[in-house]
Chains A and B, each alone.
Chain A
Amino acid sequence: MIIARPLRADAPARNGPLRGLSRLLPGPLLALLLWEVLGRALADAFVLAPPSAILVYLYENLGLMSRALAVTLANAAAGFVIGNLAAIALAVLASVWPRSDGVVRGLALLVFCLPLVATGPILRVVFGPGPWPQIVLAALAVYYTTLIPLLVGLRAVPAGWLDLVQSYGRGRLAALLHVRALAALPYLVAGLQIAAPAAFLGAMIGEFTGAERGMGVLTLRAMRSMNVDMTWALATVATFVAVLSYLAIGWLARRFLHHEPPVILAAPTGAGKGGRGQGALRGLLLTGAAALLLWWGALALLDLNPFFAKGPWEVFSALVLAPDAAATRSALAEALGQTAIFLVPGYLAGLAAGALLAMLIVLVPRIAGVAMPLAIALRSVPIITTAPLVVLILGRGALGTVVLVAIMVFFPTFVACLHGLRQAPGRIIDVLDSYAAGPVQQLIRVRIPAMLPAFFAAARMNVPASVLAVTVVEWLATGNGIGSLMALSASLSDYDMLWSSVVLVSILSALGYAGVGVLERRVFRVYAPEQLQ
């Protein structure tokens, strides 16, 4: 998990959003101008709407757009509250009862890896046409981004404070109430900042699955009717909402918190303390058991129609025992293979582009000061909601999918890496300066090693994020791969296939996340042993 905020040097605290905005203006103004020119030049290609056309569209459809926005905002807000409350409850549980920490993390990751593309339709069947699927999806999109920094924040307490509590004979609950809760507040805020745009994204995806009203519904309509202006207007509104919510929470935090929210958090790898051998295996087994139990429990509790609500046993039998199990397996394997062709290059390209651009920018410090706030703002844009744009521009082929995944991965990686590079200890830089080592030497010897923890944290978090991106594009646009298979099975009511793919995608994402974690530990053993403590 990466959470970044502007460094103090970039955006001095306590002078409100205006100062930051004034620094941002020249770049975006230029971009707007370029956009307008390009949009007008390519008017016949039906891909790009110039800002003027977007404004005109928004003005002419003010009623429609604001009604849709209000609906989506309400759902996103409800999901935001529910998801964050869940995250806080889980973090408190893990803090008061540390033994549960591993299972809490494991389960949280697994649920976060659920492909929204498939959970959306399932929730739609469960809840019907009302707002609940959107709200649940928004909550699902939010809780993890809050939980992870909160877990870190609850732990990031000097040992002396805990000794103090213990020296008066008080236990974990007192430590939580008197010390940890407030110490974790800045971390919570950092999480909420990321969560706010994520909630909006979750709500929109929920609306893709057949809601009656909302921004997601309009987006689908715009895409189907090839309405370029409308598509761009919707994406613009979504972007504005995301950036504004991000800035608003940051502003509130600076206003009411006495210390700055943490600049960056590279949470320890999922494996945590029991990272090796038996401990890891036990954690895995416990998490698996807990997941199965929850799955069964939820189905039993909700008393759902077994026609669409498949339990672990049904999925197992669909994949292994049923007469058509072999066909199901091969269909899934084929779809996963198609997805991997887009996912892996996009993921790697996004990571590489993010890291490389960050390095380049650090070599030219003057750009870095401007690029950082811009990238942070852009990172909060729900890339998925701009999927229709990418499809418009690059078409429904492989390129569009790969690019979209890469963009999804790029921004968080870029922000994390840029921050990591600038985190390099000043004194060591001073030492290198005293030997007249140039910026390239500094980059290679000091900054890149200092960047690695942030890079890997971004790489881990981006596994589920890129799976989300690729499945959404497959579903909305390209019509192949696992995303499309899930959408197709949902519409054909092939619930065995749907649940099987949900299980498979979740497990694969979680494994990918864990796999990056393993790689991370290997690299850290050499470059950053302190991260492994």
Chain B
Amino acid sequence: MSVSVVCTGLAKTFGGSVEAVSPIDLTFAAGQTTALVGPSGCGKSTLLRMVAGLEEPTAGEITIDGHPPADTLREAALSVAFQDPSLLPWRSVRQNIELACALARRPKNATDIDQLIHLVGLEGFADTRPAELSGGMRQRAAIARALVTRPRLLLLDEPFGAVDELTRKQLASDLPGIWEARGTTTLLVTHSVTEAVMLADRIVVLSPRPADIVADIPVDLPRPRRQTLSREPQFARIVERVFAALSQGMARNLPKAAQ
């Protein structure tokens, strides 16, 4: 049930002048986790929003399993965990997760929801409203909400931004298990390099705005990846490569930025 996403000549310009994404060709293989890494404001979120069908590309096209994103949307086969958790303040954590089921027109399964709440470490907070949660807890609730509809395509836009370091590591080692088991194609936007290496099968490094591909780095580390993996030399080597690519990207677009 995996889907592959193909972007061809994809570009986005805002207001006719601000070029966010320069023409990009990218394929996200079915069942893989791809991390998009780049400096803040480089247009990686825009790329993700275009794949999610929330933003119209200025040029080029996206196909998900050969169909336009609108078809995937109509089947409610994708989920987005947004940078901003976007929880409805009048609904509890559980009710917010159930909202996704309602929107996706899926029956809600209480056991599933309980498991997800456990997975993101929110047991005991199921009936709490977002206002009483910390920023990190809200983001975890949003991740659970994104997973509850069993999406075939999962789009994560810096979903751990406000999550504390310890929980973040826990999530980074737990979440991929679910994606693998379900064969989910996952797109992760992040600016944490170690997180990208921990989670992804492949890292696409983007340049500063307008986003362009600087490097496409495979992460051939065995799964499941334990937290101790980050101390291994092969992990460090990949991190090193990503950092090198990031600096290369910064240098590449410097003259443009200086203009």
A→B interface (CB under 8 Å) = 158, 160-161, 163-170, 174, 178-179, 182-183, 258-259
Question: Contact check: which of A164, A178, A258 meets B82 at CB < 8 Å?
Answer: A164
With A167-B80, A178-B103 given, is the CB distance from A158 to B74 under 8 Å? no
In Å, the complex CA distance between A453 and B79 comes to: 39
Chain B interface size, under 10 / 10 to 19 / 20 to 34 / 35 or more: 20 to 34
Given contacts A160-B82, A259-B89, contact A178 B53 (CB under 8 A): no
Digit string of B40-70 for contact with A (CB within 8 Å is 1, else 0)?
0000000001001110000000000000001
Cβ of B100 under 8 Å from chain A: yes
The reply to whether A182 and B53 form a contact with Cβ atoms under 8 Å apart is no
Q: Verify A179–B80 contact, CB threshold 8 A.
A: no
Q: Please, what's the 1-or-0 string for B80-99, where 1 marks a CB less than 8 Å from any CB in chain A?
A: 10101110111000000001
Once A161-B86, A178-B102, A258-B129 are accepted as A-B contacts, the answer to whether A167 and B52 lie under 8 Å apart by CB is yes
Q: In the assembled complex, how far is the CB of residue B87 from the closest CB belonging to chain A, in whole angstroms?
A: 9
Residues from chain B with a CB closer than 8 A to the CB of A179 are: 88
Say how far B47's CB is from chain A's closest CB, in angstroms.
15
Q: How many A-B residue pairs have CB under 8 A?
A: 61
Decide yes or no: A167 and B88 within 8 Å by CB, A160-B82, A178-B99, A258-B129 being known contacts: no
Given A161-B88, A178-B102, A258-B89, the answer on whether A168 and B54 have CB atoms closer than 8 Å is no
Q: Are the CB atoms of A164 and B75 closer together than 8 Å?
A: no
Taking a contact as CB atoms under 8 Å apart, the answer to whether A168 and B90 are in contact is no
**Which residues of B pack against A, CB within 8 Å?**
49, 52-54, 70, 72-76, 78-80, 82, 84-86, 88-90, 99-100, 102-104, 129, 149, 155
Contact A170 B84 (CB under 8 A): no
Measured between beta carbons, the chain B residues less than 8 angstroms from A166 are: 53-54, 73
Q: How far is the CB of B206 from chain A (nearest CB, A)?
A: 21
A161, A166, A169, A259 — most chain B CB neighbours (10 Å) = A169
Residue on A with the closest CB to B149?
A168
A180 to B90 Cα, complex, angstroms: 12
A-side contacts of B72, CB under 8 Å: 169
Task: State how many angstroms separate the Cβ of B65 from the closest Cβ of chain A.
Answer: 15
List residues of chain A with CB within 8 A of the CB of B49. Answer: 163
For residue B46, give the distance in angstroms from its CB to the closest CB of chain A: 13
Provide the bound-state CA to CA distance between A166 and B79, in Å: 10
Q: A107 → chain B, closest Cβ, in Å?
A: 32
Q: Is the Cβ of B103 less than 8 Å from the Cβ of A165?
A: yes
CB distance from B149 to the nearest CB of A (A): 7
Shortest B144–chain A CB gap in Å is 14
Nearest CB in chain B: distance from A172 CB, A? 13
Q: Give the CA-CA distance A442 to B35 in the complex, in Å.
A: 49
Out of B53, B79, B103, B129, which one reaches A174, CB within 8 Å? B103
CB-CB under 8 A from A163, the residues of chain B are: 49, 52, 54, 80, 82, 86
Q: Which of B75, B82, B85 contacts A169 (CB 8 A)?
A: B75
Flag if A182 contacts B86 (CB, 8 Å): no
With A169-B73, A258-B129: A164-B103 Cβ-Cβ less than 8 Å: yes
Residues of A close to B89: CB separation below 8 A: 258-259
